[in-house]
Amino acid sequence: MEEQLEQLVRQVKQAPLDSMDRQQTITHLAQQILKARQVVRPFRGRLTGIYQEIAEQAQRYLQQLLEQRIDSYYDHRMSLGQWTRDLRSETFQAVLSRSSLQQLALAAKQHKPRTPGHQYAISQLIQAIQFSGKLARLQFTPDIYQDAVNQTLLWVCQNIHSYDADRGDFMSWVNYRLDKIGQLTQQAQQDPYTQAIQGKIIRTKHQLSALLRQLKATDLLDWLMLYARRLILDLNLSVIAAFVTLLNLSIAVQQSPDSKSGLLFRVAQELVDLPPPLVYSEDLSLTEISQEEPLSLADMLRQYVEEDQDHLLKKQIQGHPEPTLQTLILARLEGKSWHTLSQQYGIKVPTLSNFFQRSLTALAPKIREAIQSQFSISYDFPF
């Protein structure tokens, strides 16, 4: 992608001023830059209505920016990627007017909740709010302000159907909530219990950072490869899931070192037992709700295996009525070793292990699909 952009930039600079070739190349360059946009993305391959209008405005505005600035761009001062990101950001701050945001809000209201159209419209509205630069800059600390912004955007998602255009401008409605939620967030941050929780999160973040410095992604990959080849037999699925999680976290930090601090902070928040979340109702009253402990991957798998609604896990080793595949999975989830199971059923370890691995490999897609559907999650399963 970046090589193509570099080639187009060179072509524009080499083309004679005011030539048709230069204008066509600028148009093509603007199209390529906007392909990476996060706002007004096509829905099912198409852009219509206000989404198409904003996309066309962005195309025209970006072409004008390129005509004005491309000859003064020097790659030794700024990377092409950063330059195009800055142009794209400036473009959407210009074209996403308060009127455009209001039209996006009204478009989101037209869809029934929890439908694909509603999910698309809400996601585009939230992205547009963030890229528009129209959120009020309030006198809070950066952490409190960002937390208030996140809470406000969630509030907008949950209450968009209560917005009444006859009573006022959409962004005035949003910024009023942002100010109120910011004040409440600031009050909550000053609570001694909340401060203690924040301290625990920060300590957990530092521990994660230290752990990742000691771990190497290649070492984790080696462990997982040994397990996949059945050279390590006594790792239960919860341990494998932990390895996969650490590997993904390590890779994510390596790929985006600039976002390492924020990423580790969010992971630390997930690991720390937080108090019940503060929930903002439509009238902005503040209430506390209880939160059920989320099921771990191992718990989801255990529940699925115990119920076996699809009757996929009744398979047996030829010549042995026991154990079934269901029995073996539950035993492994409980941490029982292959040696223990071999003694229990009088079957050699390789026979048990090979049956287990072959059966899981064959059924993995169906099990994964069933669990993701039943629990509405999108985990990468370690089998």
Q: What's the CA gap between 84 and 99, in Å, rounded? A: 26
Confidence bin at 289 (pLDDT 50/70/90): very low
Judge whether residue 34 has pLDDT over 70. Answer: yes
Supply the mean pLDDT for the chain: 78
- Verify that 47 and 127 share a domain, yes or no: no
Q: What is the DSSP letter of 233?
A: -
Selected residue with higher pLDDT from 205 and 60: 60
Whether residue 148 has pLDDT greater than 80: yes
Beta strands in 208-349 (DSSP E): 278-280, 286-288
Pair (197, 140) in one structural domain: no
Give the per-residue pLDDT at 288: 38
Give the predicted TM-score (pTM) of the model: 0.55
Residues 116 and 74 grouped into a single domain:
no
What pLDDT was estimated at residue 93? 93
Last residue of a domain, one of 213, 246, 277: 277
* Domain termination residue (choose one: 51, 80, 95): 95
Per the model's pLDDT, the better-predicted residue between 234 and 112 turns out to be: 112
Q: Return the pLDDT at 103.
A: 96
Range of the domain at 230: 192-277
Q: Are 60 and 139 in the same domain?
A: no
What gap in Å lies between CA 225 and CA 310, rounded to an integer?
30
Strands 278-280 and 286-288, how do they pair? antiparallel
Is residue 246 located within the same domain as residue 176? no
Is residue 110 in a domain?
Answer: yes
**Contact call for residues 310 and 316 (beta carbons, < 8 A):** no
149 and 102 together in one domain? yes
Count: domains in the chain: 4
pLDDT of residue 353: 85
What CA–CA distances, in Å, run from 275 to 103, 148, 197, 293, 357?
37, 17, 8, 12, 41
The residue with greater pLDDT, 313 or 130, is: 130
Q: Would the pLDDT of 213 be above 70?
A: no
Band (285; pLDDT cuts 50, 70, 90): very low
Q: What's the confidence (pLDDT) of residue 69?
A: 87
Phi and psi angles of residue 54, each rounded to the nearest 5 degrees, phi first? -65, -40
214 has pLDDT over 90: no
The answer to whether 272 touches 204, Cβ cutoff 8 Å, is yes
Is residue 288 situated within a structural domain? no
